[in-house]
Structure 1
């Protein structure tokens, strides 16, 4: 990716050391419009004195700014909060952790990715069921219909199905469709890549997409039922605890 230079500056200006920082959102999913926001996500490490003292540091830092007509949205969580989210059925944090669009990394980031393989469970499917349902309601409600929520629906379902089948976190719709071969995906992506972030669809067949929504929802349910992924994390909590202590002491 050719990234605007100010993104690196924003990462370097953060008040606490970063375990990692990656890009999420449309850029990760493979369909950014020319005016798409940059969704930056990461994990920061609060120093010991701001964890055990009376004046504690921020568990979550959120920064939004506009530079060169592009909006930057940065969210980072402290290591403890992020590790606790990993132990829940939270697909967002997995996608942030395994994003290949890396802005900042450390040896411990690589270690965390190995540990977090054991955090992936069958019940992460519930995250994708819920996300798809929310996006379908948004797509159905808006008039005229926008391409972005529709692409999010397909991205979410395919990510969830693929995760249940393989245990691998893949958030890029272009790569996912190399596996699932949905014939309408390339045209939808092409429109999103060429038009503005809030571009709308003309002559959209809502009934067809609703049938596809229901079909893929059923496929995700079948993938969940057939998945060999564990019911809950097993050794991950102890390994995360050990990594948390080492990072906190190091800070």
Structure 2
């Protein structure tokens, strides 16, 4: 991991030079951040960046993402800060996950922390539940039907289902750690035992491919997906928009990155 951290840091600095941007935050996303990577999992690096002030002073819409081809286990892409803040207004779950990732590659400004401070009032339970429910339904339908299933895909349905439960019960952004979700939300039972056994196998590096389905997990997932189909419709729609605060955050970020005269 340490070798890859150095490689990731070098790649991020190269992006800053090539694109003439400053990266204000970079983190790990996906299975490594969730705590169940495979031995051959890519490093899913996500970042937020700021361009020079003049770039924003244009009558034309310009590309607001930076993407690099997947290479040598590195999957790196990022969003312009203006795009990120507009998605934050909508309580975008992937962005909220980035902001609390346990694996941080770069955070040399106060920008990400300023965004985090606005999160409690901005969080939309409905947006979050719909996002995780959509993820769970798609993976459940595609990978976990029939007598033989792609066993590692259980994690990609269990985690979003448990994230829905967290949002319903606690009304906050669910933690990234799959293990934390399991221990906090599942009572001691055969279901919890089977889930943790599966997690232990994954952590041990055992390749999980086609195997007989685990009925107790399948039954749980089917019930919970049906349940959250109804819960999602009734969940609180959104928090405060905080548009003035986000505008000021954007301007202060430009000043912090490029100097007091930037805005």
Aligned match of 1:83: 85
Cα distance 1:224–1:140, how it changes in 2: closer, same or farther (>3 A)?
closer
Corresponding residue to 2:101 among 83, 99, 102 = 99
Cα distance 1:112–1:132, how it changes in 2: closer, same or farther (>3 A)?
same
Q: Structure 1 unaligned runs (5+)?
A: none
CA RMSD of aligned residues (A): 2.7
Q: Structure 2 unaligned runs (5+)?
A: 187-191, 259-263
Aligned match of 1:112: 115
Corresponding residue to 1:244 among 247, 250, 254 = 250
Number of residue pairs aligned between Structure 1 and Structure 2: 244
Would the aligned equivalents of 2:144 and 2:153 in 1 still touch at CA under 8 Å? Answer: no
Which has the higher mean CA deviation after the structures are superposed, 3-12 or 110-119?
A: 3-12
What is the CA distance between 1:146 and its match in structure 2? 2.0
1:154-189, Cα deviation, whole Å (9 max, x unpaired): 011112211232213312111111112322221222
What is the CA distance between 1:127 and its match in structure 2? 0.7
Would the aligned equivalents of 2:150 and 2:211 in 1 still touch at CA under 8 Å? Answer: no
Mapped to 1, the partners of 2:147 and 2:87 lie a distance apart of: 35
Secondary structure of the corresponding residue to residue 211 of structure 2: coil
Cα distance 1:184–1:238, how it changes in 2: closer, same or farther (>3 A)?
farther
Would the aligned equivalents of 2:147 and 2:213 in 1 still touch at CA under 8 Å? Answer: no
Matches within 5 A, 1:113-192: 113-123=116-126, 124-140=128-144, 145-166=149-170, 167-181=172-186, 182-192=192-202
**TM-score, reference length from structure 1:** 0.85
Corresponding residue to 1:233 among 230, 239, 243 = 239
